Structure formats: C-alpha cells, structure tokens
Amino acid sequence: MENIIDRLTGKSSELLSYYDVIQKLKIVNQTEQGVQDIPLEAIVGSVGRYTDFSRTFLPMQDNDATRWARVAAVPFNELPPIDVYQIGNSYFVLDGNHRVSIARQRGMKFIPAEVTEVRTRAPLPPDVSPEKLILQAEYVSFLENTNFDKLRPDADLRVSVPGQYR
C-alpha cells in the first residue's frame, strides 16, 4: 500500500544506501559525536539493510516478523541506543533498524543514537530522495573541479535540474 501511495505522490519509498551516498558525495572526514536524541524523520537510509525496510521503516519482508516482535517485546528504555552515521541533517542506521521501525510504529519523534558525523563536500537534507542525490553528486563534482566552496564558502550554487553544471 505504501508503494502505491508513494508512486501516486511521486515520493520514493526506498531507503538510501549509505555506501551509495558516500561514494557520490565523497567523505571529507568523520568524528564521533556521542549519544544524542535524533529525529526519526531525519533517518533516510541504512548501511546494510536499506532493502529490508521502506522509507518509513516498515519491514519489506515477512520473514523479519519474529525478530521485529522479539525487539518490540523489550521495554524501549532497556534497549541500547542505535548507531548512525550523520551526513548533514540526514542519518543512516548502522545498527538498530528494527528499533527504528518499532519507535516509528509507536509514534515516537526521537530516538537515542550513538552518532558519527560524516562530513562531505555537500551536506544532505532530510528530504533527500534518490533523485535529489543525483543533484547533490553533480554539485560535489562541480565543487571538486572548481573549489568554489573554498573560494566562496558562503555562496550556494545548487541547481534543481540535473546536468546544469558544465
């Protein structure tokens, strides 16, 4: 049902692959940020399980039901923080995909997470989609070729249509 609604609205129901994103956006550095409460709405992808859950973290396969039920049975405050990578204002789950799914199902807005901030030439907004990722990748390529972000750090030359950087 979620896939049908997403197709009608033009939104993607797919989680982003962390490795696909960092390949396109090029890591500059990363630092441990410790445990923080992060907004569930800002979790846009996963390191290894991006095909197992939808963008709203509903399980995509029925064979995960036992694991989901087992995690859901534990009081949430007894579960450890999830582990995430942060790129801009977007997060990618390294460990804790089921906990994210359960937290969203329970209507929670935030979840405790051990955060590793990953800096790239162009940050990701939380509403990033596979289509917008293409634009960000082109922007990173433009910045690498011109060093414009270093010459004019306050300028923002992002475009809204692919293929505009020449």
Residue 100 · residue 91 · CB < 8 Å: no
Position 62 scores a pLDDT of 67
In a domain, 22, yes or no: yes
Question: Higher-confidence residue: 130 or 15?
Answer: 15
The total number of structural domains in the chain stands at 1
33-86 confidence digits (pLDDT tens): 999 999 999 998 989 877 777 778 777 776 666 777 777 777 777 889 999 999
In a domain, 159, yes or no: no
Contacts of 29 (CB under 8 A, 6+ apart): 118, 119
Position 50 scores a pLDDT of 75
Print the domain residue range for 115. 2-151
16-36 confidence digits (pLDDT tens): 889 999 998 888 899 999 999
Question: Higher-confidence residue: 156 or 104?
Answer: 104
In a domain, 73, yes or no: yes
Confidence of residue 11 (pLDDT cuts 50, 70, 90): low
For residue 74, give the CATH number of its domain.
3.90.1530.10
Q: What is the pTM of this model?
A: 0.81
On the question of pLDDT at 12 being above 70, the answer is no
Question: Higher-confidence residue: 153 or 91?
Answer: 91
93-138 confidence digits (pLDDT tens): 999 988 998 898 889 999 999 999 999 888 787 777 878 888 888 8
**Amino acid residing at 5:** I
**Amino acid residing at 124:** L
In a domain, 158, yes or no: no
In a domain, 162, yes or no: no
Residue 115 · residue 84 · CB < 8 Å: yes
In a domain, 161, yes or no: no
In a domain, 24, yes or no: yes
Position 40 scores a pLDDT of 94
Region label for 32, one of left (φ > 0), alpha (ψ between -120 and 50) or beta (otherwise): beta
The residues with which 38 forms a beta bridge, in sequence order, are: 111
Q: How many residues does the structure list for the chain?
A: 166
Residue 135 · residue 162 · CB < 8 Å: yes
In a domain, 165, yes or no: no
